[in-house]
């Protein structure tokens, strides 16, 4: 029955999923010393392993790539070992998991950067947004424009991070090309006013995003590689004058790379779906592999879009925070628990691993 499509198995590239529900990446700021994910992180993801695919929280590919305090990395041996415990816990529950690879670019603060340096960006344009550092939300720092000879190093950071992710036991990786972070900063002319080969035209602005994705796919295989994009989201002060042309071109090139999926934020990240005109069907038609739809989905909309062929998988984000058994609650149309907003970022088990399951008895 079409009403049950959400709960059917699905083949995502080289990864076999038990259902079509994706846990979207969610920043929780709970990495330990050395930005290493710990035992609580393993417990948190294992609790949510009934999702067909778990996309781990955005994880920086280098120290320079960090933009918020206590977010995990994937560039040191200890970080790889920490993530290996997480993937083992998820696999032990029958789950499948990919790691989202992140470079925040200008959405950072000097206190997080190597030697207190400036964050980097395509152009020296400060983002109208805040970051979480020193246990407080503060304005991001003024960035510097990346030199063209630095870009190959960033591509290599992503390539090495993808290799490290596979070494840590992940089933694949997702390149973070959304939400106003570095790769999207290059793609959108509100943040990119370069006049070299990485600025100006649609093709030039897409170059870094595509070079990173190609390098990752070559390193671990296109059938284990995906990317997240957000064509019209204004997240972190980003803007684009020509999103349809920009993303039609990007998706054409991603199709040529043969990667496993595109993960598309439809509308404003965490906000309205109809924030700006955009034809997501154009992206769907241009991409022959898996289309993961994200933003504002509930059971009804997810079922409708799957049955109408508008998407292959549906990603849910915030509902997974307070509902470790979110898949089971969807299946039975059970009510959802509400998030405690005071425990979203940072801290310990409270608001992280202590949300009860629907069938969990009090005190257990």
- The Cβ-side half-sphere exposure at 308, using a 13 Å CA radius, reads 11
Measured CA to CA, the distance from residue 176 to residue 82 in angstroms comes to: 21
51 phi-psi bin (left φ>0, alpha ψ -120 to 50, beta other): beta
- For 41, the 3-state DSSP assignment is helix
Question: Who contacts 251 (Cβ-Cβ below 8 Å, separation ≥6)?
Answer: 229, 262, 283, 286, 287
Q: What is the DSSP string of 79-140?
A: HHHHHHHHHHHHHHTT--EEEEEE--TTS--GGGSGGG---EESSS---S-EEEETTEEEEP
| Catalytic residue chosen out of the listed positions 181, 247, 249, 297 | 181
On whether the CB atoms of residues 105 and 141 are closer than 8 A, the answer is no
- Paired tokens of 180: 């106003």
Strands (E), the chain: 10-12, 15-17, 21-23, 53-60, 97-102, 120-121, 130-133, 136-139, 144-145, 172-177, 225-229, 261-265, 290-294, 313-316
The answer to whether 181 is a known catalytic residue is yes
Annotated catalytic residues are 181
């Amino acid at each position: 029955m079409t009403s049950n499509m959400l709960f059917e198995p699905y083949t995502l590239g080289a990864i076999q999923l038990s259902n079509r529900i994706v846990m979207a990446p969610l920043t929780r700021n709970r990495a330990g010393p050395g930005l290493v994910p710990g035992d609580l992180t393993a417990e948190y993801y294992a609790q949510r392993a009934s999702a067909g695919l778990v996309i781990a929280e955005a994880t920086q590919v280098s120290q320079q790539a960090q933009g918020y305090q206590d977010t995990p990395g994937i560039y040191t041996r200890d970080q790889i070992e920490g993530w290996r415990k997480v993937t083992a816990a998820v696999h032990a529950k029958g789950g499948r998991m990919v790691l989202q690879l992140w470079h925040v670019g200008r959405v950072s603060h000097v206190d997080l950067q190597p030697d207190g340096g400036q964050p980097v960006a395509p152009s020296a344009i400060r983002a109208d947004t805040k970051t979480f550092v020193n246990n407080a939300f503060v304005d991001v720092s003024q960035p510097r424009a990346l030199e063209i000879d630095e870009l190959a190093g960033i591509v290599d950071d992503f390539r090495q991070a993808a290799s490290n992710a596979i070494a840590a036991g992940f089933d694949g990786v997702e390149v973070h090309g959304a939400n106003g972070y570095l790769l999207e900063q290059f793609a959108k002319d509100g943040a990119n006013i370069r006049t070299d080969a990485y600025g100006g035209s649609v093709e030039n602005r897409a170059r870094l995003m595509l070079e990173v994705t190609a390098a990752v796919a070559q390193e671990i295989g296109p059938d284990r590689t995906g990317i997240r994009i957000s064509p019209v989201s204004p997240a972190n002060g980003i803007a684009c004058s020509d999103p349809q042309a920009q993303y039609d071109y990007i998706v054409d090139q991603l199709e040529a790379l043969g990667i496993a999926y595109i993960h598309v934020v439809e509308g404003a990240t965490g906000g309205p779906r109809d924030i700006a005109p955009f034809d997501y069907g154009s992206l769907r038609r241009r991409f022959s592999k898996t289309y993961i739809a994200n933003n504002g989905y509930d059971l009804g909309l997810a079922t409708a879009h799957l049955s109408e062929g508008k998407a292959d998988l549906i990603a849910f984000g915030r509902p997974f925070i307070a509902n470790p058994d979110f898949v089971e609650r969807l299946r039975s149309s059970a009510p959802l628990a509400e998030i405690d907003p005071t425990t979203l970022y940072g801290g310990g088990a409270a608001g992280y691993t202590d949300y009860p399951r629907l069938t969990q008895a009090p005190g257990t």
